[in-house]
Amino acid sequence: MEKEELTEAEKKRAEVFNQIRTDLESQGYVCHEKILTPTYANTMSIVYMLPFAALMIVLYCIHNKVFSTKFDFKSTSIWVYEFRLFLSVLGMTACIFLHEFIHGIFFAIFAKNGWKSVSFGFNKAAFAPYCTTKETLTKKQYIIAAVMPTIVLGFALGTVAIFIGNVWFFAVTVVMVFGGGGDFIMIHNLLKIKSKGKDVLFFDHPTAIGSYFFVKETN
């Protein structure tokens, strides 16, 4: 399969990365690459997040006594259902972009140059928007920036939806939990990196789904 040509934004990020890599390797860091294919990321996102989503659904059903409630679908117009479905799809779409914006907020907080080091785009292969930073982050910073969108849009809003008892709102939050699957895959990969006695820095992959990490022995 012919490799897809890089966009101008990807070329610029690749140039920035190459400069950072050169500087860090001159300081004794060793570069490692971790890439996820779109197919693997999309498939494993479901596997990783299914337990969380299942727990949320169980809690929703218990709190709102779903199994003991009789639904009268005839009492509600089909137009009402269609409108609620439209609002849910609209909410999901908005949350997908908000997910990336939350990444950007924390990248900007941790980056020395703030928002100047943050960029947004759209990955055609994964058919999804993305947010990336042009600076290296520590392990803790990278994990916080990766997990926050799911905490806010999935778990926090999901808790609100459970207590409100709005199934349409709740459905959006469950989708947002699954939407954080790729981030959780990356977090899992980062947690497997043994950093004791080492200086480890992370950098978003400039042209693919994944990241680079630079390791330097400190002992």
4 pLDDT higher than 80 = no
Residue 82 pLDDT: 81
141 pLDDT higher than 70 = yes
Considering Cα of 74, then 80, then 82, then 87, what sign does the dihedral take?
negative
Domain ranges of the chain: 38-194
For residues 81-107, average pLDDT: 91
Helix (H) or strand (E) holding 201: strand 198-204
> In Å, how far from its chain's centre is CA 52?
15
Strands of the sheet containing 137-138, edge to edge, are 30-36, 209-217, 198-204, 137-138
Residue 68 pLDDT: 61
For residues 71-79, average pLDDT: 61
Residue 2 pLDDT: 47
Residue 72 pLDDT: 54
For residues 190-213, average pLDDT: 83
**Per-residue confidence at 125, pLDDT binned at 50, 70, 90?**
low
Residue 1 pLDDT: 41
Q: How far apart are CA 145 and CA 143, in angstroms?
A: 5
74 pLDDT higher than 70 = no
For residue 121, what are the contacts with CB-CB under 8 A and spacing of at least 6? 7, 9, 129, 130, 132
Among 8-12, 13-17, 106-110, the range with the most confident prediction by mean pLDDT is 106-110
Both structure tokens of 74: 């005839």
DSSP letters along 119-157, please? EEEEETTTTEEEEEESS-EEHHHHHHHHHHHIIIIIIIH
Q: pLDDT over 90 for what percent of the chain?
A: 56
Both structure tokens of 120: 């947004």
Whether 203 contacts 212, CB under 8 Å:
yes
Helix/strand/coil for 113:
coil
The reported pTM is: 0.86
In the chain, where does DSSP find H-type helix? Answer: 8-26, 38-63, 78-110, 139-149, 157-164, 167-179, 181-191
Q: How far apart are CA 138 and CA 200, in angstroms?
A: 7
Q: How far apart are CA 177 and CA 55, in angstroms?
A: 11
Kindly list the distances between the CA atom of residue 190 and the CA atoms of 47, 59, 143, 154, 214, in Å, as whole numbers in the listed order.
18, 30, 8, 21, 12
Q: How far apart are CA 216 and CA 205, in angstroms?
A: 19
> In Å, how far from its chain's centre is CA 19?
26
Share the mean pLDDT of the chain: 87
Instruction: Tell me 29's DSSP state.
Output: -
Q: How far apart are CA 68 and CA 213, in angstroms?
A: 51
